[in-house]
Amino acid sequence: MSVPAKAERPMTDAEIVEAYLTASMIPDPDAAVAYMKPGTVITFTGGREFDHPRGPTGFNAKRYRWVKKKMDRFDVCPGAEETVVYSVGTLYGEWMDGTPFEGNRYVDRFVVRSGQIVKMDVWNDSAERILVQRGIEA
């Protein structure tokens, strides 16, 4: 007699966001998009809007040789119809000139509805760090 397989539980909203971010950091934007509802708007640093994770990946390729996130925590704010999930942490990697960096603060805000990301907003300190590199005190 066989034992039925244990049913997998659905991912929590925070796990969906973490899976999206993990795929994004590979970078594998085509895997990341599986966690998003079609038509999702990603509002990136500087107010740039993208409709697919390829947009931020392409933008980051112009700013960094490589970049990763140290995800310190996820703040989950459940609502009646949707959940807002904040991913808070720091960026680390290399600037285009090969200079390493770490401790670059970021906050990503996600809206998750019915198991899919429907909105994403991104903020980080990269622009301020670039200004300091160029001797500009902002």
Considering the domain delimited by 13-134, tell me its CATH architecture.
Roll (3.10)
Residue type for 94, please? E
At residue 126, φ and ψ (nearest 5 deg) are -60, -45
pLDDT truncated to tens, each residue of the chain (138 aa)? 555 555 688 999 999 999 999 999 999 999 999 999 999 999 999 999 999 999 999 999 999 999 999 999 999 999 999 999 999 999 999 999 999 999 999 999 999 999 999 999 999 999 898 888 888 886
Domain boundaries, the chain: 13-134
The answer to whether the beta carbons of residues 49 and 125 sit under 8 Å apart is no
* pLDDT value, residue 121: 98
DSSP of 66-89: EEEEEEEEEEEEE-SS-EEEEEEE
Say whether pTM exceeds 0.85.
Answer: yes
